[in-house]
Structure 1
């Protein structure tokens, strides 16, 4: 499609391309109108009847403002990246301390048992207790 992005008509209206028909014709809506039904939009031919005085394939962007905004954003991102790296290093340090100062058996999260698992463990202990006593008596 080679339809321009923006059309200006003789009456001072600025029309932006907002949709395309099934056959590929561009549909334009007045600038500032974000939601416009297709049956209300105008084609380039319809706007030509009102007199097209200008068109553009791209929208202008002020370079100086964009460059300054990009520099500000880049500075913010670099500061956040530095902070993120410091936090990652601290997490790695804490994980290293955790791994050396605490055994897996002491980890309450890894060994939180459900009530059913506790019941099974109690029954197993009661079942094995007499054999443990006999084993200990035999060692003495």
Structure 2
């Protein structure tokens, strides 16, 4: 369950993410903006993502990334100053890996099912071998 409230005393937006669906996540974004509108410019955001998860078969990428970006932009325009996020250590490692990959020049393909990942890797490896056989890869 997702929760959000405006802490008027500290001028802070407090957001806690829990298990959700794509639809409820997008609806929750509206509630976040509504609560943020109750705070003064310069408010801070405390975002707890430790319990965040989506239903099996749904992925955060199914949410419209533009919607998420727009919400963050609106929060900034409303006067958000600093954001603190609390994440599961495994999520933190995942994010760190993504940042490192960008610097190195490649992007990992992410799966949440091991069988799907193995099938995809085998398909990719087959394509690599075919391209090598055709002389398209050194």
Which TM-score applies when normalising by structure 1? 0.28
Whose RCO is larger (CA < 8 A, sep 6+)? 2
More helix by share: 1
Which of 1 and 2 has greater Rg? Answer: 1
